[in-house]
Amino acid sequence: MRLFNFEEYDKQPRPVPSGEIIIATQQESDDFESYNLDQYVEDRNVIIIGIPGAFTPTCTDKHLPGFVKQEQNFYKRGVDEIICISVNDPHVMLAFSEYVNHEGAKITMAADPYGEVAEQMGLLTDMGMLGQRCKRFAAVVSDGKMQHVLVDEKGIDVSSAENCLKYL
């Protein structure tokens, strides 16, 4: 089900998708806590990064490092949290969080295990042997509304941290 018309994002901000996410945090048990993304974000200012997969070469080596490098610049411009979402299970996102944040970064990793967020945004795509995945994107959320959604069809120029900073 496609809920968004991307041609009108700059004209009319849209609500954050309500799909289920699981925040990857270290648990003593396998009971991860799930949230609806819109309720988790509430009325805060956040950056939502969508990646096709944790530990995939482009995401790990090219896309996420820019957000780690620019993290403090986002916070200085009023961003409350940077959330990275992928259609992966929460265990994978927990391991990815430990890998990406190993030098003190605080990027929140969130599993979209059923692809609900990606589907609601019209960004769920079939990636062959990788299965259903999210297209690469970055969304600027202000006061709980998606102000800008920057989607890459190829490469990482549109959804890069540097480009995303231009919209703050």
**Catalytic residue positions?**
59
3-state secondary structure of 67: helix
Determine which helix (DSSP H) or strand (DSSP E) holds 149, and give its type and residue range.
strand 145-151
Cβ(97)–Cβ(90) below 8 Å: no
* CA-derived radius of gyration, the chain: 15
CA distance 136 to 151: 6
